[in-house]
Structure 1
Amino acid sequence: MAFHGVLPHRQPLFQPAPRRDIGVNDTHAWRLNPAHRHVYDKLQLALAQGLRAAACGVDPLSVGIQTATPLFVKPITNLLGMSLNAQATTAGDLASGRTQVAPGCFWSEYLVGDHTSTDCLVLAGKVLWLAHTQGATDKDKQRPIYWHIGVRLPALEPLLTVFVETQLPGYTGLCNVEMIGGKVIEMHLRGSNGFFDFYGAHFVPAWVELVDKRVWQGLEAVREGYVYSLFGEGRLPADYADIAAVHGVKIVPDTVTLDRIAVLYADTLDAAQQVARLVAL
């Protein structure tokens, strides 16, 4: 048995190997968790929270939504990139056809507020541990430019706990919940792999022990840091690693996301921004 979906350069982080199969990306997590894969249906997540939402094709005006009301359109399920084809619009533009949407999308009320991402370790449907991350208000195609790791969000924890335990009865393992303004927008049956560097040396062993043995001995608090995305279609200079090291930053070229050049891991936002300016060509 093994972790499934680990990128080659991340292999050293995923130790020890589990005795059970664990998916670390959405395609493998969906495949390996048939009893809980319903959480990838973003329309059902919206409806479960009482949000106004429906599959595209249902006229929002026909259900009493006003023409000028802002809406968000995105795929109901998309394991190859959950935010791909997402766009903001209004009820009037959607109803009139001025907003073009791809097949398989839904609309929901437009949410505002803090964009957060929380990894949760869960045992038999009960939340044991949470690691919070907050997204920047500066965005590229609705994606935060950076994430602040290790933030404290005590007000969200009761909401998160109830929602996870309602949606994932009997589940054991890691899951991730993204929220905007305290409302869930996505769930994943895996963690935010790009944030694991800040979770400490005991995180992966504790996760594996939880899944393999159903044993939980606790974890230290997550240290603060920043994961900064260098979006665009350029390239890195040959000495990018040396430039980053001077500022105490680790930089990893992104060979998967088409419009992201690299990901930077830094203890401070200032260090990440300095390196981003220096390596952007």
Structure 2
Amino acid sequence: MPILYCDPWRAQYFQDVQCPDDATIPIKDWQAWSLFPNHSWIYDKLAVARSQGMDAAPHGVIPPYYPVFSKPIINLRNMGAGSLAIPDEATYRVSLQPGHFWSTLLTGRHVSTDAAILNGEIAWCRHATGITLDGGTFEHWHIHKEVMPELEGYLGTWASKHLAGYTGMTNFETIGGKIIEVHLRFTDQWPDLYGAGWVDAMVRLYSEKRWEFDDSQRQDQYSVVLWGSHGRSYRYPSAACTARVKAEPGVVSVQQTFHENLTPSLHSNPPGGFRLAIVNTNDLEAGRRALKILNEGILASSEQGDGSTRSSMVQLSSL
């Protein structure tokens, strides 16, 4: 299938979609980088910062003021890895890394925006904000019903200048209305929350170079995450447990986001936790109730498998 999903827990969103063989749709950044060479420069985060007139330079150039923010110039596997705020020159000098850069430390609302781009113009977009926990983890993502006209105007102006000739999905990460990252793909964690027919519309964007989607029924929705601790293995919950979760009112889909037979350290996760499951839902409290059920189910299966104790699970504040 030309939709290049890699994670088996995402297959549920794409496996029944009709996609022409000549329309290749990336899910991961490394796929998009190869598929769109004329626009792959956007993965250079230093270039993106400078395209907006932000102060930014490679490590080795001394910042004119502090604090600044530091991160790798390009990182296709885990875009946020290696990032940190630098408060002063002493910290900067001990933090110097080849391939990293510093830029203006932005403040304000952190928004993730999926956008359908038609020859450089935004034809559709939807915004999400994350509720953070410690160590780079998120308790949940809020996929907003609301439009954000000021942000959409800024992104539209930037896209028409820098993505001319590009047609496809794009994800923008912004803080305080400024772009910090651009991805030539959409967020594959919650395509089911964009509404019936959205994936088909996305396929038409790539295959027929047009955008047609009825977005009149949008509502506030949520993608809620269950985290475990690092340093141990996990097993999937029983089929009965998963069925119970899916039957919870308001639950749209369930993803079990790890491989039972893969060494835990080979999974890509933030320092704050090991991602075990995601529940997409129309109701935040329903999602949290579903996570409690999954929490107990994964604990029971994992303890049967290796005798680990319950204390190895991260107990989220919402559970």
The TM tier, using the shorter chain, reads: 0.7 to 0.9
Residue in 2 aligned with 1:127?
122
The Cα shift of 1:252 comes to: 1.6
Deviations 1:68-88 (A, max 9, x none): x32221111111110111122
Q: Is contact 1:175–1:191 with CA below 8 Å preserved after alignment? A: yes
Q: Please identify, of 154-163 and 187-196, the stretch whose mean Cα deviation from structure 2 is larger.
A: 154-163
Distance 2:214 2:166 in 1: 19
The corresponding residue for 1:265 is: 280
CA deviation string 1:192-239 (max 9, x = no partner)? 111201112211211222222223333324432111222333746546
The match for 2:55 among 41, 52, 58 is 52
**Alignment partners' CA distance in 2, 1:20 and 1:120:** 18
Which residue matches 2:225? 229
Task: Give CA-to-partner distance per residue, 1:39-70, whole Å, 9 cap, x none.
Answer: 1111111111122211112121xxx21xxx32
Q: Which deviates further from its counterpart, 147-156 or 176-185?
A: 147-156
The answer for the alignment partner of 2:90 in structure 1 is 93
One-letter amino acid matched to 2:276: I
Q: Residue 43 of structure 1 corresponds to which residue in structure 2?
A: 46
State the distance in 2 between where 1:278 and 1:254 align. Answer: 16
- In structure 1, C-alpha distance between the alignment counterparts of 2:8 and 2:294, rounded to whole Å: 23
1:146 aligns with 2:149: no
Q: CA deviation at 1:278?
A: 4.8
Paired residues in the alignment total 272
2:224–2:280 Cα contact (<8 Å) kept:
yes
SS of 1:177's equivalent in the other structure is strand
Partner of 1:72: 69
SS at match of 1:147: strand
Residue matched to 2:205: 210
For 2:80, what is the secondary structure of its paired residue?
A: coil
Task: Specify the code of the residue in structure 2 equivalent to 1:35.
Answer: N
2:309 is aligned to: none
For structure 2, which runs of at least 5 residues remain unmatched after alignment? 259-266, 296-312, 314-319
TM value normalised by structure 1: 0.87
Structure 1 residues 216 and 23, CA gap change in structure 2 (3 angstroms) = same
Q: Over the residues paired in the alignment, what is the CA RMSD in angstroms?
A: 2.2
* 1:9 counterpart residue number: 9
Contact 2:151 2:177 in 1 (8 A): yes
When Rg is computed on C-alpha atoms for both structures, the one with the higher figure is 2
CA distance in structure 1 between the partners assigned to 2:136 and 2:220 by the alignment: 23
